[in-house]
Amino acid sequence: MAFDYDLFVIGGGSGGVRAARIAASQYGARVALAEEYRMGGTCVIRGCVPKKLMVFASGFPDAVADAQAYGWEAQIGGFDWSAFHTRLRAELTRLEGAYRGNLDRAGVDIHDCRATVAGPHEVRLADGRVISAKHILVATGGRPVVPEEYRGAGCMTSDDIFELQSLPRSILIVGGGYIASEFACIFNGLGVKTTQFYRGAQILRGFDEEARGHIASEMMAHGVDLRLGTDIQDIEARDGGTWVKPTTGPGEVFDKVLFATGRRPNSDGLGLQDLGLELGPNGAIPVDRYSQTAVPSVYAVGDVTDRANLTPVAIREGHAFADTVFGGTPRYFDHGIIPTAIFTQPEFGTVGLSEEEARAKGPVDVYCAAFRPMRGAFIGREERTMMKLIVCRQSDKVLGCHIIADQAGEMIQLAGVAITMGATKADFDRTLAVHPTMAEELVTMRTATRSHGD
Ligand code: NDP
């Protein structure tokens, strides 16, 4: 049977664009891609990229204070959100154009509309046209969710941040994950009075416990009013803002309330159940390691599969899909070791196992150092950096590395290379220190801070 295309990709985010581009340009496949919003997906349009630019913007008050302490005559004025926002919009438009240009150059046909799956080899476009393809790749990403009970209370999600016309004077952020913690630091740095409610005992559940505690105390020291063990009891629009009654104290009015309470795969109404596919409880599309669904011609990559919801992961999954299906080389992305950074202030870079995960698997030695780095200590800053290695006592392999420091994201990328290669503690020890740096601590810790297991 002749198909209109070899591949139809639904979704123009990180995973979909990579798969489309590789399939078309590297393997000569005839490819079409549909995107209903803006090319680039969450990462480019309302995630990693605009977030990181806001992280940069929010760091300048501290940088100027440091400059003063170092002897500069410097002072910072007010923050002009609209100037920043204008530039941000232009940058996102530029990046969106680059994504589109790359697809065009690869010969991918772009449809700027919603598409749904109409059959194992058929896709229906919003205008009713049905297009056939030998393979269909669903790469529709995810979206932020507000818990049912708070919907309609006029609260924001992370998507709305980049559309704000002005900066709020005060903000309440609900949640304790990546997004809540990053935006708490960003708004706080931009001079917004920032409160964060987290229902559990410590933010960043699932990460190394010592690191979680370190980050939380640094965030509070920087001015974030972080309230642990706190949830919303009542909420209503009042006095031009939102009145919130927490479970732990009296009610307060905030200019804005941001729910960063998790994300959900974008699989609603895609027609997948009509194909007989059973979705996960949160809407995730079940796939095997090659990203293939139970319908052999339909694949899915990225956040819509809810494996590890990170841009580089979606890119690898999309690339492996193209290599497997069009390159004749079966490849899958191994989700075992994922270096990642959380752009709190200070940043948190992490790769491999937490101390808790590692000790549950066998005997480990833990090397941990917390210290005031040279740049800040010189001017009396109290901020502390943390470097931590978790080492398997039997194999000497470094199982986990956790860094809390300015530029920890940059450092963990390189530690990630070593750990992915299977580096041992002896390898770290024989690596010469780069002096004077913060990261040299990773190769100079000689005595275990503590040990677990026999
Ligand atoms: P997470 O799932 O990481 O965090 C959700 C938070 O909301 C948790 O603290 C959770 O609490 C809390 N929560 C959930 N439901 C409720 C509720 N009903 N009431 C109160 N609190 C609630 O989601 P995020 O939205 O922060 O991030 C989604 C994903 O996006 C991340 O996992 C990550 O993969 C990706 N991401 C990556 C970034 C990066 O690489 N730097 C940046 C931003 C996002 P509890 O812990 O108790 O469940």
**Same-domain status, 376 and 269:** no
Q: How far is the CA of 343 from the centre of ligand 1 (A)?
A: 14
Pocket test for ligand 1, best of 55, 179, 345 (most atoms within 8 A of CB): 179
Pocket test for ligand 1, best of 172, 261, 310, 347 (most atoms within 8 A of CB): 261
- C-beta of residue 400 within 8 angstroms of C-beta of residue 208: yes
**Same-domain status, 200 and 110:** no
Q: What is the pLDDT of residue 239?
A: 79
**Same-domain status, 182 and 194:** yes
Residue ending a domain, choose from 261, 288, 312: 261
CATH number for the domain that contains residue 205: 3.50.50.60
Helix, strand, coil shares of the chain, percent, nearest 5, are 35, 25, 40
Q: What is the pLDDT of residue 327?
A: 98
Residue ending a domain, choose from 235, 261, 287: 261
Residue 309 has pLDDT above 80, yes or no: yes
Give dist(CA 366, CA 373) in Å, integer. 21
Give dist(CA 345, CA 61) in Å, integer. 12
Q: How far is the CA of 183 from the centre of ligand 1 (A)?
A: 12
Q: How far is the CA of 164 from the centre of ligand 1 (A)?
A: 21
- 3-class DSSP assignment, residue 227: strand
Quick: pLDDT tens for 47-83.
999 999 999 999 999 999 999 999 999 999 999 999 9
φ, ψ dihedrals at 256, nearest 5°: -140, 150
CATH number for the domain that contains residue 368: 3.30.390.30
Tell me the mean pLDDT in the region 3-31.
98
φ, ψ dihedrals at 124, nearest 5°: -105, 130
Q: What is the largest CA-CA distance in the chain?
A: 74
Ligand 1 atom with minimal separation from the 51 CA: 42
Q: How far is the CA of 205 from the centre of ligand 1 (A)?
A: 9
Q: What is the pLDDT of residue 303?
A: 98
Quick: pLDDT tens for 115-157.
999 999 999 999 999 999 999 999 999 999 999 888 877 799 9
| Residues near ligand 1 (Cβ within 6 A) | 147, 174-180, 182, 198-200, 205, 231, 260-263, 309-310, 340-343
Q: What is the pLDDT of residue 152?
A: 74
Tell me the mean pLDDT in the region 19-46.
97
Tell me the mean pLDDT in the region 26-47.
97
Pocket test for ligand 1, best of 183, 199, 209, 247 (most atoms within 8 A of CB): 199
Quick: pLDDT tens for 340-395.
999 999 999 999 999 999 999 999 999 999 999 999 999 999 999 999 999 999 99
What are the tokens at 253?
Answer: 């009015």
Quick: pLDDT tens for 102-116.
999 999 999 999 999
In a domain, 236, yes or no: yes
Number of domains comprising the chain: 3
**Same-domain status, 126 and 226:** no
**Same-domain status, 11 and 132:** yes
The contacts found for 367-371 with CB under 8 angstroms, 24 or more apart, are 367/391, 367/425, 367/445, 367/447, 367/448, 367/449, 368/210, 368/445, 368/449, 369/441, 369/445, 369/449, 370/214, 371/441
Q: Which residue, judged by its Cα, is nearest atom 47 of ligand 1? A: 200
- Which residue range(s) make up the domain with 387? 346-452
Q: What is the pLDDT of residue 250?
A: 96
Q: What is the pLDDT of residue 1?
A: 73
Confidence of residue 240 (pLDDT cuts 50, 70, 90): confident
In terms of DSSP bridges, do strands 232-238 and 241-246 run parallel, antiparallel, or are they unpaired?
antiparallel
List the one residue out of 104, 92, 117 whose CA is nearest residue 37: 92
Q: What is the pLDDT of residue 268?
A: 97
In a domain, 298, yes or no: yes
In a domain, 437, yes or no: yes
**Mean pLDDT for all residues in the chain:** 97
- Backbone dihedral region for residue 107 (phi beyond 0: left; psi -120 to 50: alpha; all else: beta): left
**Same-domain status, 95 and 240:** no
Torsion angle defined by CA atoms of residues 353, 357, 358 and 363, in that order, rounded to the nearest 10 degrees: 170
Q: Note if the bond before 373 is cis, omega within 30 degrees.
A: no
Q: How far is the CA of 354 from the centre of ligand 1 (A)?
A: 18
**Same-domain status, 133 and 153:** no
List the one residue out of 136, 134, 113 whose CA is nearest residue 125: 113
In a domain, 339, yes or no: no
Tell me the mean pLDDT in the region 30-36.
98
Give dist(CA 214, CA 386) in Å, integer. 8
In a domain, 67, yes or no: yes
pTM over 0.95: yes
- C-beta of residue 57 within 8 angstroms of C-beta of residue 88: no
**Same-domain status, 162 and 235:** yes
- C-beta of residue 125 within 8 angstroms of C-beta of residue 110: no
